[in-house]
Amino acid sequence: MTPTQKGYAPNLTVFKKSLKAASVETSIENLISLLKRRQIKNSRPCAMATAELLRIVVARDRWTDLGKLIAHIQDVGRRLVEAQPRELAVGNIVRRVLGMIRDEGNEDRKNEGSDSGSATGSPQLEFSIPAPTTTKRPPSSSLRFASTDGVHFTEDRPTTRPPLMTSHTSYAVANNVPVQQSMFNLLSATGSPNLTPSGANSPHGDSTPHPFALSEKMINSTKDLRAEVVNGIEEILDELEQVDDQIAAYALEHIHSNEVILTHSSSVTVYKFLLKAADKRKFTVIIAESYPNDHEETHLAVMGKMKDPESEEEDKETYLKSLQAAGITVILVTDASIFAIMSRVNKVILATHAVIANGGLVAAAGARIIARAAKAHRTPVIVLSGVYKLSPEHPFEFESLIEYGDPGSIVGYEDGTLVEKMEVDNPLYDYVPPDLVDLYITNLGSHAPSYLYRIVADHYKPEDVNFNNPELLF
Amino acid sequence: MPSTDSPSAVETSQPEVAAPLAQTQPNGKGKQPEGAQQSSANTEKSKSNSNGKPAGNAQETSSTKKLTPAELKKKAKEEKAARRAQTVAAKEAESAPAAPELSPAGPSTVPQPAGGTSGSQQRGDGQKGSRTQQRTGGPVGNSRNLPFRGSQKVAAATAAPVVPKKEDKTVEFFRHLYRQRTTSIADASKEVHPAVLALGLQMGNYTICGSCARLVAMLQAFKSVIEAYTTPPGNSLTRHLTSHVLSPQIDYLASCRPISISMGNAIRWLKLEISKVDVDTPEAEAKKDLCGAIDVFLQERVTYADKLIAKKAAGKIKDGDVIMTYAKSSVVQRTLLRAFSKGKRFKVIVVDSRPLHEGKHLAAALVNLGMDVQYCLLNGLVHVIQNVTKVLLGAHAMMSNGRLFARVGTAIVAMEANEADKPVIVLCETIKFTERVALDSIVHNEIAPADELVTPGGPLTNWEDMKKLQICNMMYDVTPAEYLHMIVTESGNVPPTAVPVLHRMGNESG
Amino acid sequence: MDSVGNVPPKTLTGTFDIVETYHRILEDDPEITMPVAAIEALVELLAQTDAVTVYETLDLIQTQSAFLKMNIPNSIPLQAGTELFQQYILSCLKPSKTSSGNFEAVRQHLVSNGRLFVHRAKNARDMIARHGQNYIRDGNIVLTHGGSRVVGALLRKAADVKRAGGNVRFKVIYVVKDQRSIECRTVIDSLRAKGIPVAEIDEGTVAYAMRKVDMVIVGAEGVVENGGIISRLGTFQIAQLAMAAKKPFYVAVETHKFVREFILSQDDMESDIDQKIIRFEPDYVEDPTPKTPIRNAVDFTPPKYIAALITENGPNVVAAVSEQLIFLYSV
């Protein structure tokens, strides 16, 4: 029996291939229709497709200055988000690319400034120490950057280039200044564009320039910048490739021997996390089947047929190692059994579709009752999520994030006309409020839900948060 | 149905005797160990009956190539059953005076003696012709999503110690709950009355399902037992009936499917009644009195109780209400129908779950009456709960510490309702109250065969071959008392804290 | 107390009374908040002093701030302003990329831009309103209390959206207390003028009304380090009732009200703000109202009751307060 070809790999791969030949505009249209028709779905494929597309846009489009590039990316991003507003990862990637372009502009400008500046370095340096995120690179990177004016566009990227927001680094360094200044906005001479429509006279410092102001300078170095931005996007793509393995690296910190772990549906992230822990420890995993939308995949997963998303071959199915082969005892239960079995569960591990800045998350339907039942039993709930799923958008109505599936998978044709006579609901996602989550594990480390706002702020520039929502841009 | 392909691959390693089994065996049975040969033959038979489509074919085609060992065994068993039925019938004939009065009372559960030959081929389903039809006729059988809860898997599970290479597929936390179920009358002791024999099988395969339905059917069958009873010389009915006649019946029923709380309460009551019979009462009169008492008991504790509960609960339903319920409870259904027939206009949200999909039957019944029904599975629960005004739940039992023992998933609905601040109302006859307490859903529960969760041809086919994979299919869960706001009983509306009080009044005072 | 008030005369020209200035500023402009009034008072002080050295000036600001605090019963809100002012000067004096470190320039900037700061503070209110109106969805019922100007602005903004052709229809339940019915009246009238139906209830009705409510939005006088708020007396009980009914409790507040003060409970707050609200009387008293005007009495709402702070920078979790303050003081 061959599993149904439901995976995203073929369509994503096809899309990637098509990028080589098609024009930029065709590619944009192509992705929009793929998103609309849900042929590319789920956070990671959507994020990857978006990043791939933006790389092409940056590399091939004619742009002369960063301001125009930002405007163009915003425009493309808006169209993509509109095509599938519930795939928050699309918007997240667009925002990160926008932020990166802005950083390139700022850093370029700063470099020139620091030629004449004092040896004490930029203020960013001071703030890089309290930077709250785990930076795998030494904090001196910004120092190195500050002292390598102009020569950073070399081939040897990792050592001479300033860190972009990849899995290793974040905006923390660049972003602490706005945070710290926001209370000073009231008194500051520069002020934020929000608060001072009339420019105040400024006795010191200079204000953040509008991107368009950069244009003249940019013309000379467009080529270098193009390479820089493309490199940055490639780092995002690298992050997307590695994110599950990076999260899995924390597994042994959280799973001890003989634990009983409850999870649901079929998430590669959770799966890899468990596999990693199984290298060293023996434990039991209870999997709720998440009927009716993901049970087929869940059943395949417990039967050792979890598809490996990294596999490039389209024709051949490659599977991840099964949990059982790794020594884990797997117990499949129905969704209804969750409350009953929770008294034996040590930890609940959930995957997400998207994470929201308030610490809440959107996950496969059923996640909320699992989290609630865990709360009722005082069982800790751990959520695994790559930072690319962290969205800065603040939903004012959580129901708007929920996508509904085909009622036919609940009441099928074999029940005759029953489905027409009554209202049948089949939500694909649940919103899980932050008070039901005890811990988030991202590729940057483990965080309390109350701290997520910071991780989110580190990854997106405030001016990009609402790029797709002009009425919130002010 | 991959009844021919997948198992045969495994069969090669199996001894010769087992090989022919594969022809009629549905999937998943390939690895049946030789030690379990006897039981595998039995289960095979029950499977062919219960597993829908192939059963019909197998029955038909087997007439030509009939002589597989399994078929032979089946035949032998039928003959044995027939013989037993005849002796029982003979006994019945002896106690003829009582029979005419009683047979109209329970025609559906009293098997014809002839059932031993033709009926037992369908494992006691003979009386329920229509059901048999559903089961064996392909498309009709499939339209019912209710799976057949045969206990085929138990054989494989318990056989594990015999053959070391066979993995124990039981879930560790629930290991105390797995027990081998009697799935054919051949295993029954010869003291078991035919009515009870048939009933046991019907309970075992969930033809008769639901706490109250099982209770009623059991007492009706016991009436037949009492009617057929003659006190042996030198004994008195009071001393003999319970220990020598009733006990084997009960043991047999329990072996088919664990006795429900309400059945336990009724059995205790019946034993007390029997013990109260005056030794000097003539046997015929004593039997008549007992049967009369059973009728009154059923009338009071079930029929009247249900009516009263439905009346009270329907009174709580107001125009514009949105009532949520989970799975299917007969008394909840009755309540909704009553409220609707009284002109109340309200909406019902039926929440349901795999594998039984009992709620779908309730939803269909309500829709057909023209009621406004919304249907979702547990995955949609949190999305609809905000609009709900009341939650009505049925019960399997009410525990003495105020907790509700009901269809698995009920606790989730009550939890979310409690979170959303919606009143949760349990409809429960006092016969379902028990002095037992429960803190979790694991100590006391019932484990149904895991194969019920396997969709035919789906990814879980042959799941037993997957090492270290277990599938747990529990039937009940325990809802904490703090999630419940009101319990509607025939003795009044009470808070969960009053359960032990009502239990003492209703079930313990004789 | 004398030592605090004993300002070295040579640094002050004329008779400058910071307490009186503070009150005057608050009275002159009813739209001004307490922290901003404190800042304005300090700006005036800066304009009038002839202190020349950095040290002298800083010392003067510090003593005058302390003096002001001592003389105002509920000093926590204004403390936010005075401390922000001091920290700002300190940060500017540090030579860095964004600052020349020139004290005279800083001083000049502060003295000449007093009106700008007020203007910005009011702008912040407008920003909060723009962020906050998104919380109000069609058909919602919002409960609020007190005369918070931010909340008033927010609700009016949401009402304007409705007028602009959007279809946000919402209703307001306003908890009105006799002692401050005047400040509530302004807000209620302005909402009704915009066609928003308002139900006025007294404080005893809140628990009863809560089931109909979709969200609670209140203002605050100060936000302390743990994210808890100091707000008009009665806020705490509304927050508790909202949590019990699982309704979100939002606080609309400007970031300049964040104050580096850690308050744990009502008792803890009383050590800073002596309100004498509860008075035990052995005998019958004609007028049981406390001597301190109850009009200005406040209570403390711990952070666990607060779903989000709506600031001019957008929605914030309570954990962000501590972070902002840490950065403010790490200068």
| A81 closest CA partner among A54, A105, A102, A56 | A54
DSSP reduced 3-state for B129: helix
pLDDT tier for residue A255 given thresholds of 50, 70 and 90 = very high
- Closest-CA distance, B174 to chain A, in angstroms, reads 10
Q: What is the pLDDT of residue B68?
A: 55
Chain A residues with CB inside 8 Å of C166's CB? none
Taking the Cβ of residue A119 and every Cβ of chain C, the question of whether any pair is shorter than 8 Å is answered with: no
Assign residue A308 the CATH number of its domain.
Answer: 3.40.50.10470
- Contact check, Cβ <8 Å, B441/A422: no
Domain that holds residue A284: 249-472
- Best of A120, A195, A472 to substitute, by most chain C Cβ atoms within 10 angstroms, is A195
CATH homologous superfamily of B315-509: Translation initiation factor eif-2b; domain 2 (3.40.50.10470)
Is B360 close to A415, i.e. CB distance below 8 A?
yes
Q: Are residues A232 and A287 in the same domain?
A: no
- The domain defined by B180-304 carries CATH number 1.20.120: yes
Q: What does the pLDDT read at residue A338?
A: 94
Q: For residue A470, what pLDDT is reported? A: 61
ipTM of the complex model: 0.78
Q: Which one has a higher pLDDT value, A221 or B9?
A: A221
User: C245 and B421 in contact by Cβ < 8 A?
Assistant: yes
Residues 6 or more apart in contact with residue A51 via CB below 8 angstroms: A93, A97, A233, A236, A237, A240
* Same domain, residue pair A334 and A361: yes
Q: Distance from C161 to chain B by nearest Cα, in Å?
A: 27
The number of beta carbons lying within 10 Å of the beta carbon of residue B379 is 29
The answer to whether A345 touches A379, Cβ cutoff 8 Å, is yes
Classify residue C50 as exposed, middle or buried by CB count within 10 Å of its CB (0-12, 13-18, 19+): exposed
Residue C109, CB-side half-sphere exposure with 13 Å CA sphere: 26
Contact A196 C116 (CB under 8 A): yes
Within C94-197, where are the H helices?
Answer: 103-112, 114-132, 149-163, 181-193
At the top level of CATH, the class of C4-112 is mainly alpha
- The first and second tokens of residue B107, run together, are 């025609």
Residues A235 and A313 reside in one and the same domain = no
Residue A411 lies in a domain: yes
Element (H, E) at B470: strand B469-472
CATH number at A65 reads 1.20.120.420
Residue C35 CA: distances (Å) to CA of B206, B374, C85, C87, C187: 73, 54, 10, 14, 22
CA atoms within 13 A on the CB side of A105: 25
Test A335 with B466 for CB contact under 8 angstroms. no
CA dihedral of A343, A345, A347, A349, whole degrees rounded to 10: -110
Q: What are phi and psi of A302, to 5 degrees?
A: -70, -20
* Sole residue written with tokens 């514009």: B320
Would residue A162 count as lying in a domain?
no
Q: Is residue A270 part of a domain?
A: yes
Touching C (3+ Cβ pairs <8 A), the chains are A, B
Residue A365 located in a structural domain:
yes
User: Has residue A183 been placed in a domain?
Assistant: no
Question: In whole angstroms, what is the distance from residue C325 CA to residue C84 CA?
Answer: 10
Distance CA B2, CA C82 (A): 81
- pLDDT value of position A468: 74
Token duo for residue A254: 């959280």
pLDDT at residue B157 in the model: 42
Residue of C311, C327, C330 for testing the chain A interface, max A β-carbons within 10 Å: C327
Residues A454/C324, Cβ–Cβ less than 8 Å: no
Examine the domain organization and report whether A229 and A255 are in the same domain: no
Exposure letters B340-352 (e unless 16+ CB within 10 A, then b)? beeebebbbbbbb
Calpha distance A74→A102 (Å, rounded): 12
Same domain, A231 and A354: no
pLDDT category at A152 given cuts 50, 70, 90 is: very low
Considering chain A, what is the average pLDDT of its residues?
A: 76
Decide if C100 and A189 are in contact by the 8 Å CB cutoff: no
Q: Is A433 on the interface with C (CB under 8 A)?
A: no
Neighbours of B462 (CB within 10 A): 20
A258: left (phi over 0), alpha (psi -120 to 50) or beta: left
Report the side by side order of strands in the sheet with C298-301: C222-223, C229-232, C298-301
Q: B355 to chain A: which residues are within 8 Å by CB?
A: 334
Between CA A224 and CA A230, with CA A227 as vertex, the angle to 5 degrees is 150
Give the model's pLDDT for residue B171: 84
Positions of chain C with pLDDT under 70: 1-14, 95-101, 162-167, 178-180, 287-295, 331
Minimal CA separation from A133 to chain B, in Å: 34
Query: Between A206 and B397, whose confidence is greater?
Result: B397
Of the two residues B144 and A103, the one the predictor is more confident about is A103
Q: What is the tally of structural domains in chain A? A: 2
The per-residue DSSP string of C33-81 comes to -HHHHHHHHHHHHHHHB---SHHHHHHHHHHHHHHHHHTSSS-HHHHHH
- The CA distance from B197 to B190, in Å, is 10
Query: Is residue A129 pLDDT above 50, yes or no?
Result: no
Judged by average pLDDT, the poorest of A70-74, A164-168, A229-233, B389-393 is A164-168
Which of A241, A274, A299 is at the close of a domain?
Answer: A241
Q: Residues A230, A297: one domain?
A: no
Global pTM exceeds 0.80: no
Q: What is the dihedral of CA C311, C312, C314, C320, to 10 degrees?
A: -50
pLDDT over 90, % of chain A:
35
The residue in chain B having the minimum alpha-carbon distance to the alpha carbon of residue A328 is B468
Domain final position from A217, A241, A265: A241
Domain ranges of chain C: 4-112, 123-329
Domain ranges of chain B: 180-304, 315-509
H or E element that contains C314 = strand C314-316
- The percent helix, strand, coil of chain B (3-state, each to 5) is 55, 10, 35
- What letter would DSSP give residue B299? I
Res B85: pLDDT: 60
pLDDT beyond 70 at A427 = yes
CATH 3.40.50.10470 for domain C123-329, yes or no, is yes
Cβ-Cβ pairs closer than 8 A, A with B, add up to 184
Average pLDDT for consecutive 10-residue bins of chain B (510 residues)?
A: 41 40 41 43 42 42 48 60 59 43 37 39 39 39 42 41 63 81 75 90 86 92 91 86 89 90 92 89 90 94 94 93 94 95 94 90 92 93 92 94 94 94 93 91 88 86 88 93 93 90 76
C207 to chain B, any CB pair closer than 8 A? The answer is: no
β-pair partners for A390: A355
